[in-house]
Amino acid sequence: MIDRAAHSSGDAKVTRSVSVISAGLSQPSSTRLLADRLAQATVRRLADEGVSATLEVLDLRDVSHDITNNLLTGFASPKLEAAIESITSADGVIAVTPIYTTSYSGLFKSFIDVLDPQVLTEMPVLMGATGGTERHSLALDYAMRPLFSYLHAVVVPTAVYAASADWGSGSDVSATGLADRIERAAGEFAALVRESDRSNRVADPFALPAGFSPVGAFGAQ
């Protein structure tokens, strides 16, 4: 379910973890293909800066039943718990979904819905989406970006949309082909991930809130 790979860049001391969510449903999936391209470009850009990266890829398809069960019962199965942890304990997250009926897929949103709303706070995020036609590319900005804004994630300016036709696009003088957009997005994301200490600041769900008193403000009268 979760593919792990370490990408070393020689004698680099700095290591960052990058987690990838792919909400593609078919196998093979063009959504996963885009996710892999974004991840590889990010790892390469980090390596250029002397940062080695560990990569974890989560295909939501593999935990789709667990996600539904979590929605119904209120708790995550051990398999889903591990998947959630792989996302929330990263230094940066690449999130890629197919666009269905004008928005991110239902499975993608269901996964976001079972996360505690605080777990992506200040998380660097690179967004990607796939679709049959480029007419839906703005869904990234009117649907997906507000979702991550609500979760207080830090989303890079360039989001990458790959329509079916994009898989046959080449580079052009204005550098707007798919490969160019992936490079630009990966560069912006790698710069954030390089500085990110997010994996050291995973919130403890068992920690008391600051200032908590077991008798309350009026208890000791």
Partner 1 sequence: MQFGIFTVGDVTTDPTNGKMPSEHQRITDILTIAQKVEEVGLEVFALGEHHNPPFIPSSPTTMLGYIAARTEKLILSTATTLITTNDPVKIAEDYAMLQHVADGRVDLMMGRGNTGPVYPWFGKDIRDGIPLAIENYALLHRLWTEEVVDWQGKFRTPLQGFTSTPRPLDGVPPFVWHGSIRSPEIAEQAAFYGDGFFANNIFWPKEHYMRLIGYYRERFEHYGHGTADQAIVGLGGQAFMAKNSQDAVDEFRPYFDNAPVYGHGPTLEEFTEQTPLTVGSPQQVIDRYAGMREHFGDYQRQLFLMDHAGLPLRTVLEQLDILGEEVVPVLRKEFAKDRPARVPDGPTHAALVAKRDCASVSPELVAPVAEVTK
List contacts with partner 1 (CB under 8 A): 68-69, 72-75, 77-78, 81, 205-209, 212-219, 221
Q: How far is the CB of 206 from partner 1 (least distance, A)?
A: 5
- State the nearest-atom distance from the C-beta of 88 to partner 1, in Å: 16
Say which amino acid occupies 137: S
Q: Which of 92, 102, 99, 95 minimizes the C-alpha distance to 22?
A: 95
Q: What share of the chain is helix, strand, coil (3-state, %, to 5)?
A: 45, 20, 35
To partner 1, the closest distance from the beta carbon of 66 in angstroms equals 8
Nearer to partner 1, 171 or 213 (CB): 213
* Least distance to partner 1, CB of residue 77, Å: 6
Which amino acid makes up residue 120?
L
Cis geometry, peptide bond prior to residue 28 (ω within 30 degrees of 0): yes
Q: Which is nearer to partner 1, 173 or 207 (CB)?
A: 207
Nearer to partner 1, 28 or 219 (CB): 219
Helix axes 178-195, 30-48, angle to 10 degrees: 50
Residue 207 is classified by DSSP as S
Nearer to partner 1, 29 or 70 (CB): 70
Residue by residue, DSSP assigns 31-42 as HHHHHHHHHHHH
* Closest to 190 measured CA to CA, from 24, 12, 38, 23: 38
27 or 212, CB closer to partner 1?
212
Q: Which of 40, 70, 75 is nearest to 55 (CA)?
A: 40
User: Of 9 and 77, which has the nearer Cβ to partner 1?
Assistant: 77
Q: Are strands 92-100 and 14-22 parallel, antiparallel or unpaired?
A: parallel
| Start-end of H helices in the chain | 30-48, 64-73, 78-88, 106-114, 139, 145-150, 178-195
CB of 188 to partner 1, least distance (A): 37
Task: Tell me how far, at minimum, the Cβ of 204 lies from partner 1, in Å.
Answer: 9
